[in-house]
Amino acid sequence: MRRKIVAANWKMNMTGETAHNFFSQLNQMTWPDDVDAIVAPPNLYLQGLHSIKGNAKLCGQNCHSEQSGAYTGEVSAAMLSDAGASYCLVGHSERRKYFLESSSFLKAKVTAILDNGLFPIYCCGETESERRNDTHFDVVKNQISNDLFGLSNSEFGKVIIAYEPVWAIGTGLTATSDQAQEMHYFIRSVVREKYGSDIADDVCLLYGGSCNTTNAKDLFSCKDVDGGLIGGASMDPQSFLQIAQSF
């Protein structure tokens, strides 16, 4: 059975104090038993937050594909694991856009994440012009097949996929529930073609892109939407809890 997940991506926000207060408060809340809570703080804060005991799991926002080496400023998947992370984001549109991360680099990152015992939260999605030109399905299929389809069945079974339409990230725009369901169903069908029904039926698909307390219920009611990767709305503990209660 697929898990229900709400994952918080804090991006380059929070201080050590605000991150500690948030995570402490989150772990004291009465959380829905059937919903997994994942928090991706700036990597700098992972180790400190890991010392706070509770049900929420930690996620790295980024890692390098190499285990170690002369990569000034970078963090390896092994370091994330050592700091207490259980997951790592990979393929986020902001990494693709601002840091020019290629498909071959993302593919290597996914392998590194898996090799170090972490679960990849793989992000994919189209730009506004790609949706307007009706190429959004091709774009998402190519992203997934190029970056993930070299994995074995057992490896792919550990991947979480987050569909994040680029035009909805931080813009206040959100895919309608029909648009979200249509793309999530398509992603599951693409996975089914490659890995078969058992794996496709089990892969957890999240929606990201201005998901908040107002629209989460509609989005999470979609058959193929298993939760959300939440940006701005995840930085308030009560809002994050309310989103988790929207299933």
Instruction: Provide the annotated active-site residues.
Output: 92, 164
Residue 137: burial class (beta carbons within 10 Å; 0-12, 13-18, 19+):
middle
Classify 10 in phi/psi space as left (phi over 0), alpha (psi -120 to 50) or beta: alpha
Q: Is 111 helix (H, G, I), strand (E, B) or coil?
A: helix
Handedness of CA 203, 211, 171, 239 (dihedral sign): negative
HEC string of 4-59? EEEEEECCCCCCHHHHHHHHHHHHHCCCCCCEEEEEECCHHHHHHHHCCCCCCEEE
Q: Report the b/e string of 34-51 with b at 16+ CB within 10 A.
A: ebbbbbbbbbebbeebbe
Q: How far is Cα 157 from Cα 134, in angstroms, rounded to an integer?
A: 30
